[in-house]
Amino acid sequence: MLRGGSGGRVMPLHLNIRPGERLFINGAIIQNVKSRTADFTIENAARVLRESECIAASEADTLAGRVTLALQNLHLSADRHAQLTELTALFHVMAEQMPQGLPIMKRIRSALASGNTYGALKMGRDLFEIENCIVQRANWGDPHQGA
């Protein structure tokens, strides 16, 4: 993701893309189809994610996954209204079903309010850890688990 420098100027982003790696830029998918690393620079503001930073819709099968996917879509989308509406609904569900995630949700909202969608996405990944702890605790208390 590009960050503004002093005075609001956008700093160039230098990227190295390994063979076969995909990159998402403003909703477009770019893939290095060569057998060597490709280097390039993005000189203007753009919404960028590496494939390794993305979650596929098919992997968003938990509440934390759906929140992370919504944050990812928000980061990459030019029209953010629908994504913000979906994210708000997911935050309401999460507040009820996973209140342990409230501190992270507060930080995510703060990042979004300041326009830092990439930072919010990174924070959203912390929800997986909380979700996994909740599942492990539930399984630990289930005497039939693992039988």
CA atoms within 13 A on the CB side of 141: 5
Query: 13-51: per-residue pLDDT in tens?
Result: 899 999 999 999 988 899 999 999 999 899 988 889 999
Per-residue DSSP letter, 57: G
Residue 5 has pLDDT above 90, yes or no: no
pTM (global) more than 0.85: no
pLDDT for position 81: 85
Which amino acid is present at 143? P
d(CA 75, CA 118): 6
Query: 82-138: per-residue pLDDT in tens?
Result: 888 999 999 999 999 999 999 999 999 999 999 899 999 999 989 999 988 888 888
Which amino acid is present at 116? N
d(CA 69, CA 96): 19
- Other beta carbons within 10 angstroms of residue 64's beta carbon come to 25
Nearest to 102, CA basis, from 142, 5, 110: 110
pLDDT for position 139: 83
Q: What is the dihedral of CA 129, 135, 140, 146, to 10 degrees?
A: -110
d(CA 84, CA 30): 26
Count the helix, strand and coil residues of the chain and give each as a percent rounded to the nearest 5: 55, 15, 30
pLDDT for position 90: 94
Per-residue DSSP letter, 19: T
